[in-house]
Structure 1
Amino acid sequence: MNSPILRLALPAPVFGLFDYLPPAGLDPALLQPGQRLMVPFGPSERCGLLVEIGTDSEIPGSRLKAARVLLDEQPLLDKTQMDFLRWAAAYYHHPQGEVLMSALPVRLRKGKALLKPRPDHVFLLQEPDEVADALKKRAPRQYEILCWLRDKGGSARLEDFRRQFPSGRSILNALRLRGCVDLGIGEAVPGVLQTPAHELEPEQQAALDAVTANLDEYGAFLLDGVTGSGKTEVYFHIAEQVLARGRSVLLLVPEISLTPQLVRRVARRLAVRVAVMHSGLSDGEREQAWQLARSGEARMVLGTRSAVFASLPDLGLVLVDEEHDASYKQQEGFRYSARDMALVRASRAACPVVLGSATPSLESLRNAMDGRYGWLRLTRRAGGARAPRMQVLDVRNQRLAAGLSPVVLQALEQTLARGEQALVFLNRRGYAPVLSCYGCGWLSDCPRCDARQTLHLGQGKLICHHCGNERIQPKTCPSCGSSEIHPLGQGTEQLEETLKQRFPEYPLVRIDRDAASRKGTLERLLARVKEGGAGLLVGTQMLAKGHHFPNLTLVVMVDVDSGLFSADFRSAERMAQLIVQVAGRAGRAELPGRVLLQTRFPDHPLLRSLVEEDYNAFARRALKEREMAGLPPCSSQALIRASARSLEIAEGFLEQAAELAGRSADGRVAVWGPVPAPMRKRAGRHRAQLLLQTGQRPELQRLLDLLVPALSSLPDAGRVRWSVDVDPVDLY
């Protein structure tokens, strides 16, 4: 009897599978797709995933190597998950092995054994008030811990607990014996802290009824609701019905910054164990969450884009919050869109998928207008809150203080004097975007990119935000030796410095990637803001969405001009979304909100459209322009990028690719380029790109099926790094 042939996916830049023989002495009946095996690969060995078991191979039997060891008794990925991942690899034209292995936690990709479950959270089982008489006087430390857990929402990471109570281990054990707390894995929910459901308003109820009319069939819905309209409460009501039927829920969010507060809301609202997945977790934490989801112990997964590939048995609902956000597109390696993959995953699971946003992407809006998605509208803010009033401020010929006009400074002073909060928004971290010499004109250019190095005064460094290159801040000009070097422009650090000097009596919190780089810092800063510990907020797009600050009544956008003029056809859409999202932080409770937009182009049609009409009017106008120009979402694109030691080599490879594409496309797909990338040099490599575009998506896929396998054989392929980006969200 011939030995079966094992077809394995390996983490290698090869589009096919690798054939191996079973390990010596292993009963082939023990082998199942989805198991891992260690196999010889060149001079070393790698961990691979068994995809198929066949009877023959194109490689002669004498050349086939045997796998060395079977690592798993049971498959780590089931057939449904494997089929989904293989489809994604084919659609995005990325090597199967890299896609399939990316769905496993990092340790498992390296051939390590599954981690044994280990408690990583502490949960509150009894409210402090219920045991106050017994503990408050006799065991004040135990009572303090219970109150701390209540303030944390009923659960906390053991790591945070140990940091807060370094000698609290014995006290925690005493509380466990009393039945006041427990330890466990992942986010669990104590029933005593469960938050009751809010009564839905008519528009919310109509949206709920539409989605839940048939929970056993695929249906795509766009939940198009203004900021503060209660989209999250609609999510919860739908999830409640799905969970009650014993099925699982996947909730995607675009930013790590949204997960802490959302986890707490989910935990207290739905009484379900939650597996949290995002890049801010350690490898061990991510693996434990993955195991919780795969086993069904956690019936809800909440995470950023990679969570779309989480193993979830009996998936019954997919929710994509802030579906318009560009963060859902992976920009390196396997370039997938988590939003689009969420739609495919829901279709394969025969369950509803809800895309929520106050500023829907033009792709989703077009699908809703054409009837491919159910269009659910929430036009009013929940609880009777009023939409903020927007005002365009012309700052031409005005004397600015760190970019702030006199009108803005006066508005800030009045807002703070009333005891209300204000947000000053600038999507530019650091102190200043460039350092310049007044003597010779030297600029702090990055030596590895066509970009400037940003001044980070707190660190005393110049840092490139594109490649990470950094150097110590010079005291004199590196070119002419002059001491007349000064920062140009503003960043959040400079705003913080200026506002602290101007309003020293009001606490200020800055929230950007630098200020919240350490684990747990962001959550503490947000808690401080919500508790009223800061009158002033300074921040970047980390504050643009999802956050609810009831006392925040004024939003100032320092510079809205950067997105008004760009070579990227999506820049106007993104700027409109950003303005509306940031503006939506103001006036979310009883107090009215006000939004000030500083600009040197007050008559720009985008600004006028948003201020005088609304986002929906802007989006309809933008869709007409895209249709006239034949741009997405009215067409489909793929971008082939190449980088090399010189621009000539990169363009030479793409010229060969363009010639091949032109022959294969037969006039059905437009081939544009090659051209240099808008940022020609990045991280020391010169970049060029080739754009493929057509009005028919199947035609583009047919061309890529022919083109991509042939690219590695082009004469210059060995001299460049190249990639294929299907449905690109930017052209940089």
Structure 2
Amino acid sequence: MKNQKPILNVAVPTPQRQLFDYVIPDEFIKSDSTELFIPGCRVLIPFGNRNLIGLIVKISQSTDFDLKKLKPIKALIDKEPLVSKILFDFFIWSANYYHHPIGEALLKVFPGNLRKGLPLPKTTTRCWKIDKSYSSDNTKSVKQLDLLSLLNSVDHKTDEFLKACFGRSTISALAKKGLITEFQKSYTKEKVSFPKALKQNPKLLNDEQATVLSKLSIEKFSCSLIDGVTGSGKTEIYLQFAELILKNQRQVFILVPEINLVQQMEAQFSNRFDLEVLTFHSNMTDNQRLLNWTKAKNGEAHIIVGTRSSVFVPAFNLGLIIIDEEHDQSYKQQEGFRYSARDLAIQRASNDSIPVLLGSATPSLETIQNCIKNKYQHLYIKKRIGLSQPPKWNIIDLKNQSISNGISEFAETKIKETISNGKQALIFINRRGYAPALFCNSCGWVMDCANCDSKLTLHKAKQKLICHHCEFTANVPLKCLACDKDSLVPVGMGTERIEEYLKNIFPTIPVFRVDKDSSKKKDFMENLHRKVNGAEPCIIIGTQMMTKGHDFKNITLVLALDTDTQLFHPDFKNQERLGQLLTQVAGRGGRGQFLGEIYLQTYNSDHPLLEKLVKDNYGSFLQDISSEREVTLMPPFRHLALIRADSTHSDKVINFLKHVRSITNSIQPQNRSINYIGPLPSMLEKRAGRYRYLFQIRTKNRSQMHSLLTKLTHQMGTIKIPSSVRWFVDVDPVEL
């Protein structure tokens, strides 16, 4: 229906895959102020019996609904769009690419405070200056006099600077005496000047590093993979290429896969550049996230270091995106809006015509294929920097070994040799807790999770049994709940059990456990690095948290305890992940002047993939994985999308996905280039009390997949779905 009044097409955070039409209130029309309504602005809208925050996506001159039934918005929150048009269009493109409800996706990419309707914060800086009535006679404290002397020689200094130099108590004392005055300084954008902006000089690059840097261009979009072995100095290339971008008055974004790596990368850039380096991740408060988001938007932050959600942070003048450890599956969001931050970063860089760098010692197969197709530039660094050599790979065949608490006799001997030589050992086991199961020796009973198809993991330190999938927690029973006998024993190994065992063997040697549980302590990683870099003999026991980003010079032994579990896991990407984990953890060894060794404990010493890793390298290993994926028509040789569904009733979710398959087949029957599989149970069929199944869609080209998904999701929106069933689309999944 055509209309003289503009119609606002608003994205609302609901599971419905549509925009909602609203009209502009009469007072705006009467005052001729309709131009205030611009896509990207937030509005307060009536939605059912609630008031919600929505985003204007489009402004139309017509509607499919009765104009008289359309409601006016309640308020226009923003006087101008929150982000630029090109970035807002990128947000919309992202929602459409991953076929996620547009309202949920668009609101999700903004900080929580903006979703609540709060305004952008004023980005002022707290500063101090000398009071006009200043007199040094009013204090005798040396620290206070030094602070006053400094402020007397300059116009002002920031609170952060003075706190770091003199301490909060000194500032407070002078303020109480009225000798210094606080004020808020508004940001004024200043030109970045080099070498003034450098705190430390760049390191001298070796020939391989220099060659890689010379092939990077700041002029236009390009995607370059820096495929460098562990310890090859990829970060120094990041820093020196970032310097070229910063000299051109542009901003740099660095994405890392995990929060515990943010601090390390932030330190690298803060130590090099005397510029504003800010972080962005989920452990920050809502207020701090919004403040840093706003500073990046205004150009106050020159460098942003963050996790996957940072791909949506606005920028004043973005010039470079760096994706460190590009292979890491943590870049793929696994709940809600299931986007890949790595893939979106590449798309955003393409939109902005800027370079993007991917860095890894173990690139993903998808990235390697894009290099083979010449979509990405493939740059190699095959040698470590300095005198350090790559670690020597070895296999411990467990069929010929006695084992105690998961550690073979040979491995225990190697640990003792390492400690006696004054060096450090890293024990890798990708399983936290004390033991993965509590077992009854009398009747065979095992304590399962009440909500999942999984066993409860024993956490001895907490004296709890915990499900690692849904966080269900139970007390440790004194007797078997099936036969009432006192015969419960922990079965299997976790980081806690290995820690306990090694502390008994090495009572005078520091043993550090690094996992999700231990790292919750404040400043854990910072303290760990300080202690380990003290170079005294020690043993580190760690999960995958220890596989990347850590530079310990005195580790010469790496021991991987549980190689076989992932070797035979049925998920299509698991063997690739195993190769990445083992190669990365091996890279923690021998980073100083002493040669490192890695030993893989396995019952399958003649497995061809393990032989490839040990005798050849990760690249050769990946070629075998690639050949298998090509034969089985799995990514990256086919494009994969999943319709995932779950319900409290398994029959309902199976029947629902059967119906989905029927609809899919009616839209596009299977042929040589399009293939359907399912419904199939997910790898963990029951989780948090819900049965989980999936329907696979595999296509030869990407346009086929998106065309099919667009038609399918539209038709699914018209069918009646049982209230207990939830469904969503997972494009380019990293697990089944």
Q: How high is the TM-score relative to the length of structure 1?
A: 0.90
How far does residue 120 in structure 1 lie from its aligned partner after superposition?
A: 9.4
In structure 2, do the counterparts of structure 1 residues 544 and 177 end up closer, same or farther at CA, with 3 Å as the change threshold?
Answer: farther
* Aligned equivalent of 1:71: 77
User: 2:65: which partner in 1?
Assistant: 59
Matched to 1:496, the amino acid is: E
Matched with 1:305 is 308
1:324 aligns with 2:330: no
Determine if contact 1:3/1:55 at 8 Å carries over to the other structure: yes
Q: Which residue number in structure 2 is paired with residue 638 of structure 1? A: 641
Q: Which residue of 1 aligns with 2:136?
A: none
Distance 1:260 1:445 in 2: 37
Residues 156, 382 of structure 1: CA spacing in aligned structure 2 closer, same or farther, 3 A cutoff? farther
Q: Aligned-pair distance for 1:614?
A: 0.2
Q: Deviations over 1:221-279 (max 9, x none)?
A: 11100001111111111111011111111111101111111101111113331221111
1:233 matched to 2:236: yes
User: C-alpha distance in 1, partners of 2:438/2:473?
Assistant: 13
Task: Give the Cα separation in 2 of the matches to 1:531 and 1:193.
Answer: 28
Q: Does 1:340 align with 2:346?
A: no
Contact 2:258 2:330 in 1 (8 A): yes
Given the alignment, which residue of 77, 99, 102 partners 2:108?
102
Q: Aligned residue for 1:385?
A: 388
1:203 to 181, 204, 208: 208
Give 3-state SS (helix, strand or coil) of 2:357's partner: strand
2:623 aligned partner = 620
1:113, CA displacement in angstroms?
2.3
SS at 1:3 equivalent? strand
Counterparts of 1:548 and 1:249, CA distance in 2: 23
Ranges in structure 1 where 5+ consecutive residues have no aligned partner: 123-136, 147-154
Structure 1 residues 141 and 338, CA gap change in structure 2 (3 angstroms) = farther
> Where in structure 2 are there 5+ consecutive unaligned residues?
129-140, 151-157
The answer for the alignment partner of 1:517 in structure 2 is 520
Q: How far is 1:551 from its partner?
A: 1.4
- What's 1:570 paired with? 573
Residues 393-444 of structure 1, C-alpha deviations (whole Å, 9 max, x = no match): 1122533222111222222122222222211111000000000111111102
Aligned equivalent of 1:113:
119
Say whether the 8 Å CA contact 1:642–1:722 is kept in structure 2. yes
State the Cα distance separating 1:184 from its structure 2 match. 11
RMSD: 3.0
What pairs with 1:89-488 in structure 2 (closer than 5 Å)? 89-117=95-123, 138-139=142-143, 170=172, 194-212=199-217, 215-488=218-491
Aligned-pair CA distance for 1:717:
4.8
Amino acid in the other structure paired with 1:96: I
Shift in CA distance, 589/686, structure 1 to aligned 2, threshold 3 Å: same
2-structure distance, mates of 1:165, 1:654: 62
- 8 Å CA contact 1:275, 1:290 repeated in 2: no
| Counterpart AA for 2:70 | L
Which deviates more from structure 2 when the two are superposed, residues 480-489 or residues 271-280? 271-280
State the shift of 1:520 in Å.
3.2
Structure 2: distance between partners of 1:570 and 1:109? 35
Number of corresponding residues:
700
**What is aligned with 1:126?**
none
Question: TM-score normalized by structure 2?
Answer: 0.90
Pair 1:716-2:721 in alignment: yes
2 CA distance for matches of 1:598 and 1:88? Answer: 43
**Deviation (angstroms), 1:97:** 1.3
Identical amino acids, percent of aligned pairs: 40
Instruction: Specify the alignment match of 2:669 in structure 1.
Output: 666
Q: Distance in 1 between matches of 2:175 and 2:575?
A: 57
Quote the Cα distance in structure 2 between the aligned partners of 1:141 and 1:416. 50
Could you say which residue in structure 2 is the equivalent of 1:133? none
| CA positional deviation for 1:22 | 2.0
How far the C-alpha of 1:191 sits from its partner, in A, is 7.0
- For 2:198 and 2:523, the matched residues in 1 are separated by 22
Q: What is the match of residue 693 of structure 2?
A: 688
Query: Aligned-pair distance for 1:721?
Result: 0.7
Tell me, in whole angstroms, the C-alpha distance in 2 between the residues paired with 1:177 and 1:504. Answer: 55
Per-residue deviation, residues 555-603 of structure 1 (Å, max 9, x unmatched): 1111111111021121111100000000000011211111111111111
Matching residue within 28, 31, 41 for 2:37: 31
Q: Using the TM superposition, give the Cα deviation of residue 142 of structure 1 relative to its aligned residue in structure 2, in angstroms.
A: 8.9
Q: Distance in 1 between matches of 2:115 and 2:101?
A: 15
Aligned-pair distance for 1:168?
Answer: 6.4
Mean CA deviation greater in 635-644 or 669-678:
669-678
1:702 to 2:707 alignment: yes
Structure 2 CA distance for aligned equivalents of residues 9 and 317 of structure 1: 30
Q: Cα gap change, 1:263/1:534 in structure 2, threshold over 3 Å: closer, same or farther?
A: farther
Q: Counterpart amino acid of 1:471?
A: A
Q: For residues 629 and 145 of structure 2, what CA distance do their matches in structure 1 show?
A: 63
Is 1:81 the counterpart of 2:108 in the alignment?
Answer: no
Return the alpha-carbon distance in structure 2 between the equivalents of residues 519 and 286 of structure 1: 19
CA deviations 1:639-693 (Å, max 9, x no partner) are 1111112211111000000011111123342111112222221111111111000
Q: Residues of 2 paired with 1:11 and 1:527: CA distance?
A: 45
Query: Deviations 1:62-99 (Å, cap 9, x if unpaired)?
Result: 11111111112222121111110111111110011112
Q: What is the one-letter code of the residue matched to 2:584?
A: Q
Contact 1:120 1:184 in 2 (8 A): no
